[in-house]
Amino acid sequence: MADRDNPFELLQSLDPSPIEETPIHLEDNSPDSYFPPSDPSNPSTRPPPSQSSPPSSHLGLSGNSHTPIYYLLRLQKFSSLTFLAFATAHITNTSLIPLLTQSVPASEPYLLLTRPYYQSWPIAEPLLIIAPLVVHVASGVGLRLYRRNLAAARYGAETREEKRKYRSALWPALSSQSKLGYALVPIVAAHTLVNRIIPARAEGGSSNINLSYVSHGFARAPMISYLGYTALVGTAVWHFTWGVAKWAGVLPENISAQNGNGDAQRASRRWIIHGISALVTVVWMAGGLEVVGRAGEAGGWIGRGYDDLLRGVPIVGNWMVGGVRS
């Protein structure tokens, strides 16, 4: 009965004692060792090959070391930097130089000097402007689709009905910068239509499109010109500035809480980026609106040619020019 009440009573307690030397059957050189010495001539004793992953190159193009998100982010980054270089030169010619010269005719030669670099070669403009824009937008859409698929797999949404049920949870939230980017797509398309596509169709090229053409458009249709120009400048500057801050790693979200001042530092960083955006917007508009926008319309046959081009703008073309000029 006592054994049933205490089953450990019959067990013998032993004091631990260290082993003075390694037993013979555990020695490395012993043929009976747990790890026998390897014999190169005997395949059974040869150590197994290493299962480590193949080394990846510095470009990250081998193995499975990176997910599609890695490559999509880099496509988005480098395509934006390529277009940003063109945008900087374009803003300099169409806004900064007119702001310094305070004259549209004096600014025209500078625009004509840089235009051959991206318009003289047939593939230069598609390669330097169109391709980076398409890659930038496509990589952004691809990131959203890939992250949505990851979220669908995480939620277990396999069928179309399940994906529709979790639609709000599957799609990643749009940031303010992404919203500006998507809003910028139709604005840039309209800008390209008025200044490149319509002149190319009507005249076979855009050699006659210069700052005087822009001034003529402001004079003939001030309301739509000012609204469109303001939307283009404001949306582009805020999107570009926050994009540069993102690639530079100085976004407010990158600031960690330090000594309880994380919120204050993030707010300060946010206002700094907004301030830079506002400053660039004011400088851009000062040259574009105050100088180019107020230069007045062109006269004679040049003005009539500009009217014909503006009349080709879909929907609002006839309203912009207000009829045929004498």
Residues 154 and 263 in one domain: no
Which segment of 160-169, 191-200, 201-210 scores lowest on mean pLDDT? 160-169
Domain that holds residue 108: 66-173
In the prediction, which pLDDT does 127 show?
Answer: 84
Query: Is residue 281 in a domain?
Result: yes
Q: What is the C-alpha separation between 183 and 188, in angstroms, rounded?
A: 9
Residues 196 and 161 in one domain: no
Query: Is residue 33 in a domain?
Result: no
Of 142, 173, 204, the one marking the end of a domain is 173
Residues 156 and 196 in one domain: no
Q: What is the pLDDT of residues 58-96, one digit of tens each?
A: 444 445 578 899 999 999 999 998 888 888 888 999 999
Looking at per-residue confidence, does 13 or 235 come out higher?
235
Structural domain tally of the chain? 2
Query: Is residue 49 in a domain?
Result: no
Is 171:144 a contact under the CB 8 Å cutoff?
Answer: yes
Residues 264 and 281 in one domain: yes
Instruction: Using DSSP, state whether 243 is helix, strand or coil.
Output: helix
Residues 80 and 189 in one domain: no
Q: What is the pLDDT of residues 265-281, one digit of tens each?
A: 889 999 999 999 999 99
In the prediction, which pLDDT does 36 show?
Answer: 54
Residues 167 and 192 in one domain: no
Query: Is residue 98 in a domain?
Result: yes
In the prediction, which pLDDT does 169 show?
Answer: 64
In the prediction, which pLDDT does 34 show?
Answer: 46
Residues 309 and 295 in one domain: yes
Distance between first and last Cα of the chain: 124
Query: Is residue 105 in a domain?
Result: yes
Question: To the nearest 10°, the Cα dihedral for 15, 20, 24, 30?
Answer: 130
Query: Is residue 10 in a domain?
Result: no
Is 155:166 a contact under the CB 8 Å cutoff?
Answer: yes
Q: What is the pLDDT of residues 281-316, one digit of tens each?
A: 999 999 999 999 999 999 899 999 999 999 999 988
Of 127, 151, 173, the one marking the end of a domain is 173
In the prediction, which pLDDT does 83 show?
Answer: 86
Is the pLDDT at 50 greater than 50, yes or no? no
Is 154:198 a contact under the CB 8 Å cutoff?
Answer: no
Q: What is the pTM of this model?
A: 0.73
Residues 77 and 145 in one domain: yes
Of 115, 150, 173, the one marking the end of a domain is 173
Is the pLDDT at 227 greater than 80, yes or no? yes
* 21 Cβ neighbours under 8 A, 6+ residues apart: none
- Which runs of E-coded beta strand occur in 204-301? none
